[in-house]
Amino acid sequence: MRKTLAVARKELRQAVRDPLSLLLLLGLPTFMLLLYGYTLNFDVRNVALAVQDRDKSARSRELIDSFTRSGYFDLVASLPAGTDLEEVTERRQARAILVIPEGYSRRIASGETGRVQFLLDGSDANSATAILGYASGIAAEANAELWHAFLRNAGRGSLPLIRYAPRVWYNPELRSTHFLVPGLIGFILMLTAVLSTALALVREKEFGTMEQLQVAPLRTRQLLVGKTLPYLGISLIATVLILSAARFLFGVEIRGPVLDLFAATLIYLIGALGFGLFVSSVSHSQAMAFQVGVITSMLPALLLSGFVFPIRTMPQPLQWVTYAVPARYYLVILRGVILKGAGLATYARQAGFLLIYAVAVLSIASLRLARREG
């Protein structure tokens, strides 16, 4: 125990001695949260809409109104007839164009179908899909009103209708930051924890001090625990910083028990640190450890965790791979505790997986590192 503490004290001194590395460990996570939090925004609002109203009737203005009233569209231009519509989207003047042809209101009045064209810039598929959804909704609503009016005029009174009243739970404004922040925490912690331990251990190898530790009566366990303990502490502090930043900058409140959140984070971090040890056992230099660490920790936590891309829509083989990505389980717990206010008990299965991962990766890493001692 005393030997472990001697190693931990030394490691902490080295980590704190260099202000740059400390800044990296504590500041980078918060910085990344800011960066990603503000840039990774999937919300589609205030879409620039141009309108070419060739009908110029009360009915056509009403349709345009229902688009702008929805809050999703901003009217940026009224295009006169004969405008090159393609140029408008090419110059990014507008992302969507509503074309109401001449005779639109006349056709409707005479009981025919009123045709309207909706042109959309589909180069960004994600937001285009969302915009298309909004536009269809607005059109459907306009149609329903039309029906109502038609029936009323025909003296038929009311029409049986489904009144559809959606209510969104946990993230009522459907703000993607609420959804993304937990993912970001998982991703950032994984990256910094893996890198800090991997680099710390490889540094000993590079400077030859590892040899000195190997001739000392120090067990592998004492060495590894001593070396990772400071980074566990630093990573927990980083977690507090990230959560505060999320709270004050993005308004993401933790609805569930904070203690449960930290318990899950602790298990997750132990796994991440263990993985860092593993990375160090396969690397010969700090540069190599850095590259291996970034690729093996960042990419899975970003792409295969359900952070950005839903796991359910992945091809089956890729879905199997995600079972080995700890961020996948951590994310479910984080979203549950932060957004839904659930406790860890609800996510016992995910916590169990995290624990299995931590134990497995730590065993493999310490076996690999112990074998080196010969």
Partner 1 sequence: MPVAVETVDLTKRFGEFVAVDRLTIAVEEGEVFGFLGSNGAGKSTAIRMLCGLLAPTSGSARVLGVDVTRDPERVKRNIGYMSQRFSLYEDLTVRQNLRFFGGVYGLFGRALVEREGWAVGMADLAGMEERLAGELPGGWKQRLALACAVLHRPRVLFLDEPTGGVDPISRRRFWRQIDEMAGEGITVFVTTHYLDEAEHCHRLALMHAARLVALGTAGRLKEVFAGSAVLEIGCPRVVEALSRLSREPWVREISVFGTRIHLVVSDVEEGMRRVRGILSEEGNLPVSVDRIVPSLEDVFIHHIEAEESRRRDDSGSGGR
Considering the complex, state which of residue 18 and residue 112 has its C-beta at the smaller distance from partner 1: 18
Alpha helices in 40-124 (DSSP H): 58-69, 85-90, 104-109
Query: Is residue 208 involved in binding partner 1 (CB under 8 A)?
Result: yes
Query: Is residue 156 involved in binding partner 1 (CB under 8 A)?
Result: no
> CA-to-CA distance for 300 and 294, rounded, in angstroms?
10
Least spacing, CB of residue 370 vs partner 1, in Å? 11
| Binds partner 1 by CB under 8 A, chosen from 32, 218, 249, 356 | 218
Judged by DSSP in three states, 253 sits in coil
- Residues listed for the chain: 374
| Binds partner 1 by CB under 8 A, chosen from 9, 92, 115, 221 | 9
CB atoms within 10 A of CB 276: 30
Tokens of 280: 């160090």
Stretch that binds partner 1, among 1-9, 33-41, 92-100, 123-131 (CB under 8 A): 1-9
Least spacing, CB of residue 132 vs partner 1, in Å? 58
Query: Is residue 14 involved in binding partner 1 (CB under 8 A)?
Result: yes
Query: Is residue 3 involved in binding partner 1 (CB under 8 A)?
Result: yes
Query: Is residue 173 involved in binding partner 1 (CB under 8 A)?
Result: no
Count residues contacting partner 1 (CB under 8 A)?
Answer: 26
Stretch that binds partner 1, among 5-13, 22-30, 59-67, 301-309 (CB under 8 A): 5-13
Query: Is residue 213 involved in binding partner 1 (CB under 8 A)?
Result: yes
Query: Is residue 6 involved in binding partner 1 (CB under 8 A)?
Result: yes
> CA-to-CA distance for 95 and 36, rounded, in angstroms?
24
Residue 52 pairs with which residues in a beta bridge? Answer: 99
Query: Is residue 284 involved in binding partner 1 (CB under 8 A)?
Result: no
Considering the complex, state which of residue 4 and residue 177 has its C-beta at the smaller distance from partner 1: 4
Stretch that binds partner 1, among 9-17, 43-51, 148-156, 324-332 (CB under 8 A): 9-17
Nearest to 30 by CA among 338, 246, 198: 246
Tokens of 305: 């965790």
Identify residues 335-374 at the interface with partner 1 (CB under 8 A). 373-374
Q: Are 145 and 59 in contact (CB under 8 A)?
A: no
Stretch that binds partner 1, among 98-106, 215-223, 257-265, 301-309 (CB under 8 A): 215-223
Query: Is residue 48 involved in binding partner 1 (CB under 8 A)?
Result: no
Least spacing, CB of residue 283 vs partner 1, in Å? 19
Considering the complex, state which of residue 132 and residue 210 has its C-beta at the smaller distance from partner 1: 210
- Supply angle C-alpha 5, 236, 256, rounded to 5: 135
Least spacing, CB of residue 373 vs partner 1, in Å? 7
Least spacing, CB of residue 305 vs partner 1, in Å? 35
Query: Is residue 207 involved in binding partner 1 (CB under 8 A)?
Result: yes
Query: Is residue 215 involved in binding partner 1 (CB under 8 A)?
Result: yes
| Binds partner 1 by CB under 8 A, chosen from 212, 244, 319, 363 | 212
Query: Is residue 19 involved in binding partner 1 (CB under 8 A)?
Result: no
Query: Is residue 152 involved in binding partner 1 (CB under 8 A)?
Result: no
DSSP state at residue 338: I
| Binds partner 1 by CB under 8 A, chosen from 86, 145, 173, 211 | 211
> CA-to-CA distance for 327 and 225, rounded, in angstroms?
22
Q: Which long-range contacts (CB under 8 A, 24 or more apart) does 247-254 make?
A: 249/34, 249/37, 250/37, 250/177, 250/178, 250/181, 251/177, 252/177, 252/178, 252/181, 252/338, 253/338, 254/337, 254/338
Query: Dihedrals φ, ψ of 74, to 5°?
Result: -115, 130
Query: Is residue 214 involved in binding partner 1 (CB under 8 A)?
Result: yes
> CA-to-CA distance for 4 and 102, rounded, in angstroms?
82
Instruction: Encode 283-318: b = buried (16+ Cβ within 10 Å), e = exposed.
Output: beebeebbebbeebbbebbbbbbbbeeebeebeeee
Q: Are 54 and 81 in contact (CB under 8 A)?
A: yes
Query: Is residue 82 involved in binding partner 1 (CB under 8 A)?
Result: no
Q: Which residue ranges make up the site for partner 1 (CB under 8 A)?
A: 2-3, 5-7, 9-10, 13-14, 17-18, 207-219, 373-374
